[in-house]
Structure 1
Amino acid sequence: MLCLVVNLAAAPDRLAHMARAFARLGLPFERVDGLLGSDLVARSGPHPRLGPGTYGCLASHLAACRRIAESGEPWGAIFEDDLHFSADAARFLRDADWIPAGVDLVKLETFSTVTCLARVAAATVDGHDLKRLLAKHLGGGAYIVSARLAVRLAALDPRGIDVPIDTLLFNPRHLIDPNMVTLQMVPAIAIQEFKLFTPAEVRLASAIEPDRRERRAERYSGLLGRLRGATKSSRDALKRKIREIRQTIELRREDWERTTVPFGPPAD
């Protein structure tokens, strides 16, 4: 399978990390030159809705989709450069013969959150269920995309998209095609470093972290913002419960599954 790693030229440490990860899997990969949001802003002005880091990330993933579309391959896997893989990940990256027919997208990573999955697996491969993803499960660190979807994504203008790449791909409210079929692998075979470790343990800095900090600062500034911050945990719990109730009108409670998989410390 064509495996693409999105990597900024200014992040050789992250590229070295992924080179070691793929070497342990015994698989080749191809680097896709990541696009700096600041460069995009300098050329065409600020994005209407996204911060520079998120803008660059979105454009980089669409460029990776363009590489798949032009390759002539039926499938391609796209990875961000701070991933940690499970020991059996190579089984699913050598080829795509295990992906059921009619599928557009396979999410390989976990964001360590609870989401809603179809009751019955579309397939089970070597202990991993492939279940249709029915609710938001963010994270664009590791996924397999079909050539037909890659063509559609490659044709998009990132300035015309007002959400980050993971929202575009893995939030049913923002899909480019409401009929597309997305499967979640359970247990997942990949996780991003910032989701695996505490902030103090993270070694690979993210280019979109400044955007996250800016959004947090804006959201929680002033008296109202401080109140919002103080009540965030309670509000998040209430929103999760409301979302769960709404979706379980049609789906059994057992459909809610934690998509996480236990990962040990990195070998390097």
Structure 2
Amino acid sequence: MYCLVINLSTATARMSFMADQLNRLKIPFQRIDAFTPEMVMNYENSFEWSSWERPLKDTEKACFLSHVEAWKFAAAQDKSTLILEDDALLSNQTPSVLNSIDEIEGIEHVTLEVRTRKKIVSKIGRAIGSKHQLLRLYQDRSGAAAYVISPSGARKLLARASKEVALADALICKAYELKSFQVEPACGVQLDRAADYGITNPFNTVSQIDSGKPTPITKQASGFRARRIGAQLRMAARALRHVGIAERREIRLDPAHFL
């Protein structure tokens, strides 16, 4: 399995943290340059920037573009890619979990992380190793800091991104065409959520995506509102469609795996 770390060239401390972590876990990786807000203007005509549920900040557009570049890499490979943002904290079980995922056919997307939000997952999972299970993921709400994507999964995300834009994690979450799964206990958590799970934060960070200025609501406000309503209706329909085989709950995380 390949591994990409999305990192701004100026965020050297974050990259050092990620390099130390991945080297300790013996996970080979490549760094990919994250887009900056200043670069967004070069792509103003390349994507449908007004196609989400609200206007995106330039920092959010840059994050989206960074993940698109990672998907382009993943789509061209012969095996799956682990995509990491540079503030992802991984458990000591991650290498064995990744090896197990590599051996299973038909998986297009696996999220390793949790963000204290409930997800809709299958009631019955598939054991991977002695400590984890793989649950079919029917509805996630947020999180793109640590996930595995197959070449076919990456191509599906690129096809969706060519037609509509969203927050990077929102685009993944709404891509129902993906065969998506969730690892439990979770193997990843963003540093800003570590304390919520009783994990000591080894590296203090400030969210870069939250630092951008809000984009003013335009005359397209009614379109944004309609898309928000449509998104809620789609999620409700998704939940009803799988009511017999799935449940909405939080995913477990074992803090002992992060020592």
TM-score, length-normalised on structure 2? 0.76
- Structure 2 residue 97 is matched with structure 1 residue 92: yes
Q: State the number of aligned residues.
A: 232
Q: Deviations over 1:5-24 (max 9, x none)?
A: 00011111110110111022
Q: CA deviation at 1:247?
A: 3.6
Structure 2: which amino acid aligns with 1:168? L
Percentage of pairs with the same residue? 24
Separation in 1 of the partners of 2:67 and 2:144?
A: 9
Q: CA deviation at 1:258?
A: 1.6
- Structure 2 residue 66 is matched with structure 1 residue 65: no
Structure 2: which amino acid aligns with 1:38? E
Separation in 2 of the partners of 1:95 and 1:73?
A: 17
- Structure 2 residue 80 is matched with structure 1 residue 75: yes
The answer to whether the 8 A contact 1:107-1:185 is kept is yes
Separation in 2 of the partners of 1:248 and 1:152?
A: 24
Q: Give matches, 1:102-141, under 5 Å.
A: 102-141=106-145
Rate the CA distance shift 1:262–1:122 in 2: closer, same or farther, 3 A.
closer
SS at match of 1:55: helix
The answer to whether the 8 A contact 1:113-1:260 is kept is no
Separation in 1 of the partners of 2:151 and 2:42?
A: 32
Q: CA deviation at 1:151?
A: 2.5
Structure 1's consecutive aligned runs of 4 or more residues displaced over 2 angstroms after TM superposition are: 41-49, 92-99, 122-126, 151-158, 246-257, 262-267
Q: CA deviation at 1:113?
A: 1.7
Structure 2: which amino acid aligns with 1:55? K
Alignment match of 2:165 (pick from 152, 162, 167): 162
SS at match of 2:122: coil
Separation in 2 of the partners of 1:118 and 1:155?
A: 27
C-alpha RMSD of matched pairs (Å) = 3.3
Unpaired segments of 5 or more residues in structure 1?
219-242
Structure 2: which amino acid aligns with 1:130? L
Rate the CA distance shift 1:134–1:152 in 2: closer, same or farther, 3 A.
closer
Aligned to 2:211: 210
TM-score, length-normalised on structure 1? 0.74
Separation in 2 of the partners of 1:127 and 1:264?
A: 12
Structure 1: which amino acid aligns with 2:67? H
- Structure 2 residue 13 is matched with structure 1 residue 7: no
The answer to whether the 8 A contact 1:77-1:143 is kept is yes
Separation in 2 of the partners of 1:265 and 1:134?
A: 26
SS at match of 2:15: helix
Separation in 2 of the partners of 1:249 and 1:66?
A: 32
Aligned to 1:153: 157
Q: Deviations over 1:114-140 (max 9, x none)?
A: 212111114433321111112233100
Separation in 2 of the partners of 1:39 and 1:54?
A: 12
Structure 2: which amino acid aligns with 1:193? L
Q: CA deviation at 1:144?
A: 0.5
SS at match of 2:102: coil
Alignment match of 1:251 (pick from 201, 222, 243): 243
Q: Give matches, 1:171-250, under 5 Å.
A: 174-175=174-175, 178-197=176-195, 203-211=204-212, 214=214, 247=239
The answer to whether the 8 A contact 1:98-1:125 is kept is no
Separation in 2 of the partners of 1:17 and 1:98?
A: 29
Structure 2: which amino acid aligns with 1:92? V
Q: Deviations over 1:198-241 (max 9, x none)?
A: 7xx77122220124x748x99xxxxxxxxxxxxxxxxxxxxxxx
SS at match of 1:133: strand
Separation in 2 of the partners of 1:119 and 1:266?
A: 26
- Structure 2 residue 249 is matched with structure 1 residue 261: no
The answer to whether the 8 A contact 1:188-1:260 is kept is yes
